[in-house]
Homo-oligomer: A and B are copies of this chain.
Amino acid sequence: MSVVMKPGASPKEMSRVLKTIRSSGLKTDTMFGEFQNVIGIIGDEKKIDLEFLGSLPGVQEVITIQVPYRLVSRSYIQHDVVVKAGDVKIGGDNPPVYIAGPCSIESYEQLHRIGKKVKEAGAQILRGGAYKPRTSIHSFQGLGITGLKHLKDVGKDLSMPTVTEIRSEFDVKTVAKYADILQIGARNMYNQDLLEACAKTKKPILFKRGFSAQIDEYLSFAERIAAHGNKQLILCERGITPLGGSFKPATRFTLDLNAVPLLKKETPFPVTADPSHGTGQRDLILPMSKASIACGAHGLMIEVHDRPEEALSDAAQALDPQELPGLIKSCNEIYRVASQ
C-alpha cells in the first residue's frame, strides 16, 4: 500500500499521515519526488483503516497493489538505482561490472595471486568465500574469519572492492567489517532473518535468486531488504533447477536468462548473472557470459582458479584466469553493440 500525497501537500499534512500509519504499528518509507511525495507502508496492511487514510488532508490517493512487493518496484522507484562499491558503479547506464575471484579463499597468497590476474583481465570487484554453504558436512567449509582478513588485505593491496557470502546471522557484523559488499546466497534467499540482519548494516547487498524461486517470490524477499531502508541492492540470477539431469550431458542448474530482462522491467536495481554457478560447467561460462550481457545484465560474477586441481571447492566450474581477458573483451564489445 502506498499513499500518494498531493503536489503541494504541506509538511504538516505529510506528518499527520505518517503518524496515522505508525500509530497502527506499521512502518513507513518515503520517496521524495520532484512534484509530489509517496509514502510506502511496510507491514501487515489489515491493521490500517484505508478509508480514513484516504480522507486525510493532503492525500491524493491510496494505492493498494496486490503484488507482494512494491518498495523494489519501478512503480515506486522510477529511476534506475546505481549501487556503488568503492569507485565501482553497478547498474543504470554504467558498463558491465565483472566480479571475479576464487570460489573459496584458501590463503592470502592464493587470493592475491588470483586477484592480481583477474584485475589485470579487467575485473573490478574481487570475490572469495570465507563461509561456504555446502551440501555435505564432509566437504571443506571455508576459512572463516581468517579468510575474511585475507579478503580485506588483498582487496586493499589490489585496490579492489570485495564481496563475500554470509551464511549465519551471527557473522553479519563481522563480515560487514571486512567486506565491501555482502552476498546472500541462493540457499539463503528465503532466510528472512538473515536478509533483515544484512539489510541493517547499510552495506551494499548482492542478493542471489533461490534456485527454485519464481520472480515474484524473489522480489518479495528483496522487498524485505528494502523495507529496512537498504536500497543498495544488487540482484543476481544464478541458475534454477528445472531438470535434475539424470544423464549426461546436462547442467546441474539452468541459468535462467529470461530473469534478466524480466527483473530489469520490474525493478530499478542492477541485475547481474552468475554463469559459473548457473551452469556448473567451465566450457559454458563464456557463451553464457556473452548471452547475459547481450540481454542486458549489469554485471557478471565469475569463479576463477588458476590451479583447479588444487581448488578446495567448485573446481569443475572455475575459469582459467587466462581466459578471463578474452571473456571480458568479448562481453564489453557485445555490451557496446547491444546497448545502442
Contacts and interface: CB of A to CB of B under 8 A. Distances in A.
Nearest to A292: B291
A83 interface: no
A214 B295 contact: no
A194 B190 CA distance: 13
A230 interface: no
A195 B239 CA distance: 24
Interface string A275-288: 00011000110011
Nearest to A225: B137
A197 to B, nearest CB: 8
A294 B286 CA distance: 10
A247 to B, nearest CB: 4
A137 B1 CA distance: 12
A246 B252 contact: yes
B167 A169 contact: no
Interface string A164-193: 000111100000000000000001101111
Top 8 closest A-B pairs, CB basis? A244-B244, A242-B242, A212-B212, A187-B190, A294-B294, A68-B136, A168-B193, A291-B295
Most chain B CB neighbours (cut-off 10 Å) among A42, A249, A257: A257
A156 to B, nearest CB: 28
Number of copies: 4
Contacts of A316: none
A136 B211 contact: no
A224 to B, nearest CB: 5
A235 interface: no
Contact of A244 (B227, B246, B295): B246
Interface in A112-160: 133-141
Given A43-B138, A44-B139, A221-B135, A214 B245 contact: yes
A330 B339 CA distance: 9
Contacts of A337: 330, 333-334, 336-337
B246 A251 contact: no
A193 B340 CA distance: 46
Interface in A214-233: 214-217, 220-221, 223-224, 227
Contact of A334 (B138, B188, B251, B294): B294
A207 interface: no
Nearest to A221: B135
A72 to B, nearest CB: 11
Interface string A86-128: 0000000000000000000000000000000000000000000
Contacts of A69: 136
Contact of A43 (B137, B193, B246, B336): B137
A338 B42 CA distance: 45
A18 interface: no
